[in-house]
Structure 1
Amino acid sequence: MKFSIVIVDDHVLIAKALRSIISNFPKFEVLYECENGKELQQKLTNKKNIPNIILLDISMPVMDGFETAVWLKLHHPDVRIITLSMDNGSDSVIKMIRSGSKGYLLKNTHPVELERALISVMEKGSYYPEWAVNSLFSGLDEQLHGKIEISLSEREKEFLQYTITEMSYKEISQKMFCSPRTVESYRDSLFEKLGMKTRVGLAVYAIKNGLAS
């Protein structure tokens, strides 16, 4: 059984090219294409049209990628979003991740990396190429500045060490000899203390403050 993909991009030629490329990936298939978020909303009223992954452009008429990602996060949280854009600015990367995107690729990405990203998002939950991680470092630097003195428990610091790995929260709980629910409580506590909303943000904080092993 193949994982299903929907392409949301107002550039028809790009959408058709993506469909052609993905047709060569053994684990994936494209269900359909949409030109904006509003058209996607209408499609998703039919349960048969709900995909595993949505490849989402940012700059679109009627309803752009930011609005669409927020709507998807609220109404279809199980659908994984991968941003596919020409915009490599740190503000856009951070905003899309906060809106629910699980990956961020540029439109000049090689098909090999596109397939790798699709597999990673399905198997591990996210995919961020090196340039996107560097962009996050740059964009979050100002947000992280001055927060080193925040009081963290030893268990929270231990949890932060694992945020830079590819382990799932369940696997982290096994490493920390506690329940997954306890690990989630560490995560939520850190989100509140550090003013963050994503694991990526926690990982960047851990690295920049010398908490990563």
Structure 2
Amino acid sequence: MKKKVTEDHPKKERKVTSGPIRDKERTKARMIAAVGKVIQKKGYHALNGPNIALECGLNKALIWNYFGGLDQLVEAYLTQKDFWQIGDKGVLEQMISNPNDIDVALVNELLKSQLNTFLKDKTKQKIIHWGLGEKTKALKNIADRREVLGEELFKHFDPKFENSETDIRATLALLVSGIYYLALQAKSTGSTFCGIDINTEEGKTRIEKTVEKILKQAFADID
């Protein structure tokens, strides 16, 4: 005998797993993922409508319907892969929302994460190579947003070092760019740099310890 649905036992609503909005978001996610697959398989020079459509099995017209164009689709992918906007976001948010927590350990944790991420993530390596070799609207927009985030951080760094002899912006610029180059060079050529092989745990540890030492010297000026 079927149970009668009463006010005390209302019928449960079925969870909606499909529909125009959900289907659109799934389709957009497939297209964004396809950008990464094309980069991995063929390189960023192969990023065009037909290749992306072929990779995700969808009509290339959807690129313009859902994103407004190829540049916007590529930018959506780059945003998802950008370390400074996505990777280790917890540390960045902690710095911005709790500036009093900014210390050597927190900054060192962020740079250590940057090094390990770019040593492991081949797609991020290719994106940095791409940014160094070409000028595109999508890459510029990502770089500009990265700088906006950087300024948010430096709003809290600058007052700490106001009366210090340490130029914290220049110090971090050298450390961040140095980490980029060491990681890319090690993975692109497999060679050493100054006799240090950061493809090995011993070499990577030497770099990490030196970065931490430089940061400690910089922050010692404000103690």
Quick check: TM above 0.5? no
Q: Which has the larger radius of gyration?
A: 2
Bigger relative contact order (CA 8 A; separation at least 6): 2
TM-score normalised according to structure 1 size: 0.32
User: Which has a greater percent of helix?
Assistant: 2
Q: More strand per residue: 1 or 2?
A: 1
